[in-house]
Structure 1
Amino acid sequence: MVPDEAPEVPVTPRDAATVMLVRDGDAGLEVFLQRRVLGMAFAGGMTVFPGGGVDPRDADTSVAWTGPTPAWWAERFACPPELARALVCAAVRETFEESGVLLAGPSADSVVVDTSPYTDARKALVAREVSLAQFLADEGLVLRADLLRPWANWVTPAEEPRRYDTRFFVAVLPSGQRADGWTTEASDAVWQSPAGALEDWREGRRLLMPPTWVTLSELGEFSGVADVLAGSREVAKIIPKVVREGGVVRVVVP
């Protein structure tokens, strides 16, 4: 909830990563969505993509890595390479924790097909008992940064008491894997077309934050995963503004 008065000094945003998992459905492109549990401190009841804040251990340089380098990601997200590495690792970790989809494989050119053997490791990651680097090392897995694409960079408005500087990624659901709603942070999870999710939002069946409905609108312009992956994106930092008009609060997207 936006406070009645904006803080004199805006809260420093916490770095975060979120991943739009996509696949080709019978009627076209589908994206994986989760409805956050009501009462959560941030975005309770909202429908979102898997994601979360960066853990300090996500910056571990020992992570077995293949694909675009941290320097490459740093150029796309206009941040230091050390942060870029942490953002990519956070994207992979959060996607696995929240959806069970693992963007890693036994080698630089393979990807896990069945993630069920890693159920206990997934729980340990959620409980912060192990780091992503330790999990990958223990299982002999390589992080597949090449399975991710940069998409956007949204920052929570300065008026909010909880702020995130979130980098959005897109990734295709690996063959053989399935996304689930196992996380305790979500009350339900579903694959849906971007147009269907937006219709549910307009009809009041879903609650969407501005970054989510804007991103869904962008995804709705693509016919399938091949088009999504082929498109080039220039990522610019987007900071919405909160505007009060009488007793009504609106969020304006620049």
Structure 2
Amino acid sequence: MVSNHERAPRVHPEVPAKDASTVILIRDAAAGAGTSGIEVFLLRRVQGMAFAGGMTVFPGGGVDPSDAHADFRWAGPSVEWWAQRFSTDAALAKALVCAAVRETFEECGVLLAGPSTDTVVEDTSEYTEARVRLEKRELSFSDFLDAENLVLRADLLRPWANWITPIGERRRYDTRFFVAAAPRGQVADGATSEAEEVVWQSPVDALARWRAGGSILLPPTWSQLEALGAFGSVAEVLAAEPEIPAILPTLITDEEPIRVEFPGQEGYYQAGPHPWSARETAPKAGK
């Protein structure tokens, strides 16, 4: 079921939404860190990028054709389970999970895979060259996993949300959000051509920085930070089973300023700055 408003945007002809995956990496706040609860990994997109330049986002991107045809070892819930949770078919569900793990590795070096169904890689530095080739699309993720004899750990992911770019945007994405705990021993970094800055922050601190004008959060990112701020630990997040309606905001273009309307928007417009243009309202996805 799609949550939508009745007003129709009048900017661009409707374009199809590209399937995409975004992963919210979380960890428990360190003792003595001055905060409690969880922290999330955020990156600020490089200024001047064609899409969402300068925005603070979670790692993620569009489903690649190779994701849909990937053949690899899989640990965790079946593709049918993922299809049911994201209200899609099994083939797309598999591609979405593959894209989630691939994009997380490309964008921050965290690899949700291991030598067996119950282990996870502890140090990803040995895969630096492969990471670069994956980002350049010189290597498929399936071939990478096969060459390194690794199992994709789908059981480390949890389905979380689904946001669709408003009709009327130049670029549109049907983005499924996942959550995953950062594997012990692995280091999330900013060694990607798309990141200008990376940071671990509590949801509360991330929202405070946004309200102070230190970052730009698009509605889907803001919404996930708001929701995650209610959890006290990683274990609580991973145990949650949220409903996942498809959220399709409405782009309002016949008023100033141009804005989007979406469920729960009141806090967004009351609390922070919103210096984006009409074409920057999409959830972060794609390359």
Deviations 1:175-227 (A, max 9, x none): 10010000110100000000111111111110000000000000001011011
The answer to whether 1:20 aligns with 2:24 is yes
Q: 1:30 aligns with which of 39, 44, 47?
A: 39
1:138 to 126, 129, 147: 147
Superposition map of 1:146-157 within 5 A: 146-157=155-166
Shift of 1:245: 5.5
Per the alignment, residue 6 of structure 1 pairs with: 11
CA distance in 1 between partners of 2:251 and 2:15 (Å) = 15
Q: Which residue of 2 aligns with 1:162?
A: 171
1:45 corresponds to: 54
Structure 1 segment 174-213 matched on structure 2, within 5 A:
174-213=183-222
Specify the SS of the correspondent of 1:248. Answer: coil
Cα deviation per residue 1:116-138 (whole Å; 9 max; x = unaligned)?
A: 11111101101111111100000
Q: Which range is displaced more, 81-90 or 243-252?
A: 243-252
Q: Is the 8 A contact 1:35 1:189 kept in 2?
A: yes
For 1:16-58, what per-residue CA distance to the aligned partner results, in whole angstroms no more than 9, with x for missing partners?
A: 0000000011322000000001111111110000000000110
Aligned residues: 250
Give the Cα separation in 2 of the matches to 1:231 and 1:91. Answer: 19
**Normalising by the residue count of structure 2, what TM-score does the alignment of the two structures yield?**
0.85
* 1:57 alignment partner in structure 2: 66
Aligned with residue 122 of structure 2, among 113, 124, 127: 113
3-state secondary structure, aligned to 2:99: helix
Identity %: 60
Q: Give the structure-1-normalised TM-score.
A: 0.96
Alignment of 1:47-86 (within 5 A): 47-86=56-95
Large movers: runs of 4+ above 3 Å = none
Q: Distance in 2 between matches of 1:163 and 1:134?
A: 29
Sort the Cα spacing of 1:205 and 1:61 in 2 relative to 1 into closer, same or farther, 3 A: closer
Query: Partners in 2 of 1:126 and 1:60 — Cα distance?
Result: 18
Picking from 213, 217, 223, the partner of 2:226 is 217
Distance 1:246 1:62 in 2: 49
**Residue 129 of structure 1 aligns with which residue?**
138
Cα distance in 1 for residues equivalent to 2:111 and 2:163: 24
What are the Cα deviations for residues 125-171 of structure 1, in whole angstroms up to 9, with x where unaligned?
A: 01111111100000000000000000000000001110000000000
Instruction: For 2:51 and 2:164, locate their aligned partners in 1 and report how far apart those are by CA, in whole Å.
Output: 14
Q: Give distance in 2, aligned partners of 1:244 and 1:86.
A: 34
**Larger % of strand: which?**
1
The answer to whether the Cα contact below 8 Å between 1:64 and 1:133 also exists between their aligned partners in 2 is no
Q: Give the Cα separation in 1 of the matches to 2:176 and 2:92.
A: 11
| DSSP 3-state at the match of 2:105 | helix
> Which protein has greater RCO, CA pairs closer than 8 Å, 6+ apart?
2
| Aligned partner letter, 1:81 | A
Residue type of the alignment partner of 2:21:
A
Q: Shift of residue 61 of structure 1?
A: 4.5
CA distance in 1, matches of 2:253, 2:136: 40
| Structure 1: tracts of 5 or more residues without a match | none
Report if the CA contact (8 A) 2:70-2:141 is conserved: no
